[in-house]
Structures are given as structure tokens and as C-alpha cells.
Chain A
Amino acid sequence: MTFSQSVQAVFLIGLIIFSERLFPFVVFSKKKPGRLFYIFERYIPPVVMLGLLIYSIRGTRFSSIILWLPQIAALLFTISTYLWKKNSLVSIFGGTAVYMILLRVL
């Protein structure tokens, strides 16, 4: 595709993505929330968060140590320090540092 064709396609895709993001607001804004709504409200964030976490480590393979140790060690570091100290920035920076260092030394 040429540049201008691509830009046209981008606008159509943008419209699709915006419609998807808008969907629940159009469908649920008028109705009074029922039990199903509270179930969604309660379970969607944790389920999505777990899904995103799993998706972001999908590249992990166990055939060679360099393919799994950096991810797993950095993730364990992040989660354990967060449970222990409850400081999200320290855990995120620390975990990222562990990951970047292990990637380079292994």
C-alpha cells in the first residue's frame, strides 16, 4: 500500500477501535445496573490484568536458560518486593533492572 492508502486504512481502523472502546458505554449507560453489571465490574479488572501479564511474558521458552531466567527472576523480584515493601515504583524499576542486567550477563 502507498502512504496515502495506508493513512486512509488507519482512519478506518481507528474508527473500528474507537467503536470497540465505546461499545460498553453505549450499551450500558441507559440501563440501571443489574447483578450482571456488578459481576463484570468486579471480575473484569483482575481477569484482564492477569491476561495482560500472561500475554506480556508469552515469549518465554524453556529450551535455554537465557530464554526464561531473566523473565522469571525479574517477575519474582517484582512480585516479592511488592508484597514485602508495597512500593510499586521500587518493584517495577528493580524488576526491570534485574531483567536488563540478566539479559546482558547471561
Chain B
Amino acid sequence: MTKNCFKIALKTTIPVFLGYISCGIAFGLVTVNAGYPWQLASIMSVVMYAGSGQFMAIPLFAAGTPLFVILLTEALLNIRHIVYGLPLINQFNKCKKYKPYLIYSLTDETFSLLTTTTVPEGIPLDDFYMTVSALDQFYWFLGSTIGALAGVMIPFDMTGVDFALTALFAVLCVDQFKKLFSTKLKEGKK
């Protein structure tokens, strides 16, 4: 992987960094405040890696909800993920060795970045996709672990930093609709 690729991926993911660190810290705090050890927050950010799903799971765990109810709730909450792969099938097929990780780490925010950002010229698509996806998960893991370990000690008031994700969606929305109105539908081949 080139230095340039990492730099551009870092710049591309700055808004996600702001959002994931602040929301991650909030999630870590929620986990510890529910009476669980900090490790649970970190494990969830690796095994599940789904923001709203993780926030939803903690009160269900704490209340001792029956397992099948929890599983059903999570399946329904995350059902939107079944369409996220569709626009990315062709691109992911070009990323052979990274493909399993790219599929596993396809969150709302990573999906948004990958479908909207044009891969810069001279940078291999697979390296760029992999770096963006891995950085995003790193931010989320870092945020939730910090929040669970030391959330109560954070001296400054971060309320509102998570607006970065709303602003990111707004900007990507503008890009997507510009693209939609300026291109025509490709014809499917028989």
C-alpha cells in the first residue's frame, strides 16, 4: 500500500473519525453504566460492528430479554444491510483478498463513503477500499474502548460532535443526487 493511499483514505474518513469516536465513547459509557465490564464494548465493536445494533443490545442484555427476542430484534434493526452490497458487487469483486473483510465491515458510514467517493487516480481500488473500511472500524473500536475504560474521565464536553455524521450524510446526499440527475440508467445486457 502506498503512502499516498493512506493519506487520502485518512482525509476521506475524517468526518467518520469525528462521529465514530464521539458515538463510540457514548456507547462505551452506556455499556459500563449498565454494569458490564469494559471488554464487552470492545468485543461488540469487533464482532458486531453495527452502531445502532450495539446501542440497542445493551439494554436488552441488561434486562435479561430472552435470547430469541434479542436475535429477532437485531435481525430486524439491521435488515437494511441486505441491500448495501448491491451497488458494490462489481467493485468488491475487484478486491479479491480483501472482499470478506469489506463485506463484514460494511456499515452505514463505510457504505456511504465507498459508494460516493471516487477512487483517486493512480491508487488501486482494493487498497483504497480496504484502508477506508479498516480506518472506520479502527475509529469505532477506539472510541468504544476509550468510552468504556475512561469515558467518565473525559474533561471536555463533546456534545454535538456527532453532528459530523449528519453533515457527512448531507454532503454525500448532495453528491449522490447530483450524480443521479446527471447520468442515465445503464441498460442491462440479456
Interface residues of A (CB under 8 A from B): 1, 3, 5-7, 9-14, 16-18, 20-25, 28-29, 32-46, 48-53, 56-57, 70-71, 74-75, 78-79, 82-83, 88-89, 91-93, 95-96, 99-100, 103
Contact = CB atoms under 8 A, between A and B. Distances in A.
Contacts of A5: 61
A72 B97 CA distance: 43
Contacts of A23: 81-82, 85
What secondary structure prevails in chain B residues at the interface with A? helix
Contacts of B190: 34
Interface of B: 11, 14-15, 18, 36-37, 39-40, 43-44, 47-50, 53, 57, 61-62, 64, 67, 70-71, 74-75, 78-87, 89, 92-93, 99, 103-104, 106, 108, 111-112, 115-116, 159-161, 163-174, 176-177, 179-180, 183, 185-190
Given A11-B47, A49-B176, A92-B15, 12 more contacts: A1-B61, A3-B37, A6-B61, A9-B71, A10-B40, A13-B57, A21-B82, A34-B188, A43-B180, A75-B166, A75-B167, A100-B163
A83 B174 contact: yes
Contacts of B163: 71, 74, 95-96, 99-100
A92 B112 CA distance: 15
Interface centre among A18, A28, A92 (most CB of B within 10 A): A92
A17 B48 contact: yes
A16 B75 contact: yes
A24 B85 contact: yes
A86 to B, nearest CB: 9
A20 B172 contact: no
A45 to B, nearest CB: 4
Contact of A9 (B15, B61, B87, B161): B61
Nearest to A103: B160
Nearest to A51: B80
A34 B112 CA distance: 24
Contact of B188 (A37, A50, A74): A37
